[in-house]
Amino acid sequence: MRLNKKRILAINGSTRTNSTNLNLIKAFIGLTINDLEVEIFNELAQIPHFNPDLDNTSAPKEVTDLRKKIKDADGVLICTPEYAMGVPGALKNAIDWTVSSAEFSHKPVALITASSIGEKAHASLIETLKIIEANITNDTQLLISFAKTKINTNSVITDNETSEQVKKLITSFIKIIK
């Protein structure tokens, strides 16, 4: 490991064990192996339902762990599908737990929505990330429609155009992190 590698927390918006988004995160890791140290956060299903009454100094352990991981990261990558034309509930729930504690405020974020269509979830997440002051730009967000036809189960981006778009996103993401 090089000492100057930036630490990235990769949040998989799918709770499915072998999701396309997890394969995309693994492809991302392969493309950034020399520049980034990526930790995959696969614990969305363990985050309790958001409850404002518990959103204080004694928040649930799963929540404090997530908040610390976001805080300690140099940047956050979110790869997510779209469910029923919206943001997956588990992902939105996790983000809701960070609103009052502001871990995303000014944090460099890359968002990749990889789904069948994905437009509605992508647009919604962009608005959510902007309102919580995440540092996200037009170049650090990407919508990959028909993702299952472009990323295989071996974590390889098989579509050339998609591969180039992901590489462009990576370059932009590294730039805003540094």
Q: What is the pLDDT of residues 66-96, one digit of tens each?
A: 999 999 999 999 999 999 999 999 999 999 9
What confidence tens digit (pLDDT) does each residue in 1-49 have?
456 899 999 999 999 989 999 999 999 999 999 999 999 998 999 999 9
The DSSP output letter for 80 is E
Q: With 0-12 CB in 10 A as exposed, 13-18 as middle and 19+ as buried, what is 46?
A: middle
Ordered by where they begin, the domains of the chain are 6-177 (3.40.50.360)
pLDDT at 144 over 60: yes
pTM of the predicted model over 0.85: yes
Q: What is the pLDDT of residue 1?
A: 47
Instruction: Tell me the three state secondary structure of residue 37.
Output: strand
